[in-house]
A and B are shown apart, each in its own frame.
Chain A
Amino acid sequence: MTVNLTINGQKIQAETGQTVLQAARAVGIHIPVLCEHPALPPDGACRICLVEIEKQRGLQPACTFPATEGLVISTHSPRVMDSRKFTLELLISDHPLDCMTCEATGDCTLQDLAYEYGVKDSRYQGKQHNYPLDASNPFIQVERNKCILCRRCVRACSHINGVEAISVFYRGFNAYIGFGADGRMQDSSCEFCGSCVAVCPTGALWPKMSIGKGRPWQVEKVDTICSYCGVGCKLSLHIRDNQIIRVEGANGPANHGWTCVKGRFGYDYVHHPDRVLTPRVRRYLLEGVKKPENRESRIENSKGGTNLDSLVSNFWDWVETDWDTALNIVAEKLRTKRDTHGPDSIGVLTSAKCTNEENYLMNKFARQVIGTNNIDHCARL
């Protein structure tokens, strides 16, 4: 069912059950928001999206007010503009305003709103919070002084991840975002999925690995699929100078913009010097010689020789090679084992990191190529 309403003189239609904000968004009318996030239930806390609705006493929040028949709404009347400026002035009166060095600059809803409404400073000066910086965990830095208590993180933690590690402690001006029983993030039930970081409109929650690595406009964003598991979350890699400096969830069919701790924070292996980039095989396999004795048995056999290092054969070394060579060796070994000991002497274990299609192929490989039913999957272990 549709309802008819008028926004800024424009007659529009909305679906029953939509809020004024959703109805306005659907037809491209801009209403600024701060605590509202499309994926989270509305909270009505920030009072930025207030609009003037005829026959309503005070200003009403567009994010929660239901779109009903005959509403006459104005989204940018002088009264609304004054109220938004007032609210912004209150917010920045307790905000560090260190945008020059703030990580969130360029990616900060509060900054954007202050720009949009021309709020340079606050007429209402007073006490400012001076919470210590909490950088005690490896993933998420918590800078409470920049928190505007929009509760997006609280809602993301409870509604998206279902963990409820984040909540508000104390009340009034002294209310702040805390974790678990008001302890450190790592001591709470937090899984470091980083959804709170993803929804934070300011620099209050920031990925620790990205600090000082680059501004939002300095990065190139490359979409990819996470390689950690078969879910296939779409990720957006933020790349600067050919280095990944941050990973965010992108809106893919499997993840709708969310991702987990591995996808979001587990990217340091990409540029790690120890990362294995080419196939490697043992030298003895490459050179086709007999498998040498292992280190322990050689030491045993040498009966207290002089130089331990010289005792270890270099036939054990890893040698970089190409895929064909490596796979040929694997195929040859598998064939020999199957022919010598029978197909059931071989078992195949596949991975949850693989896609369905890859796991299907492994299944085919085990049953048809090798000829064994010994196939299992790590998710069953």
Chain B
Amino acid sequence: MARRPKIAVYKFASCDGCQLSILDLEEELLAIGEAFEIAYFLEASRAVVKGPYDIGLVEGSITTPHDAELIKEIRKSCKVLITIGACATAGGIQALRNWRGSAEFMKYVYPKPEYIETLDKSTPVSDHVQVDFELRGCPINKYQLLEVMSAYLAGRAPSIPNQSVCVECKLRGTACIMVAKGVPCLGPVTHAGCGAICPAYGRGCYGCYGPKESPNSKSLMKHFIELGKRREEAVMAFRLFNAWAPGFREVEAET
């Protein structure tokens, strides 16, 4: 048997949900273990195999000077670097501080904020190093991760469509809730991947997968206002897990 590719899983500022999605691949874990050597995955095991690694999966955003240095080291030790989740690909929910700066927040959260060393902004990994593939989602869809790993092994491009969530609603036959119920929904500007779960349960899309390719957030925001949202509310709809992603973050300024 050929040498199994070595995988390393890293974490930065994040909730661990995306790493848990890997462990949540219960049925497939044995096959993953056969196909790959899980060399570095502290969420799963203390046993560490030395690098360099074939694949690095990175969760979390870069928020401290230490992070910014560490990610460069990680990039050097991984042949292929894949970021997973909204934090690593867009800065995450913690990027909300990017509009206000962190000093004020620290004052309320920490008894001794002077001990905290942080960067002014929470940024995606791709702002710091070259990233080979970005897998979106908050959290990622574990089957999409499996697809990325299978594609790596087969030496092909992963099939991760960058189209709208609307396409997924239509494939599963969900009637558009924005049209039929007037529920504001980020689906038309949001990257597919979740399988359009929320609209199937009557909730508007929260934009967990960030902007689709060429999103028209400005037009959608205008429509939210037509549906009866106040301007500030309409802006807030974009201020979630992918708030800092280009395509979402401009809405306030440009409308």
Whether chains A and B associate is: no
Q: B interface vs A, CB < 8 Å?
A: none
A contact set with B: CB distance below 8 Å:
none
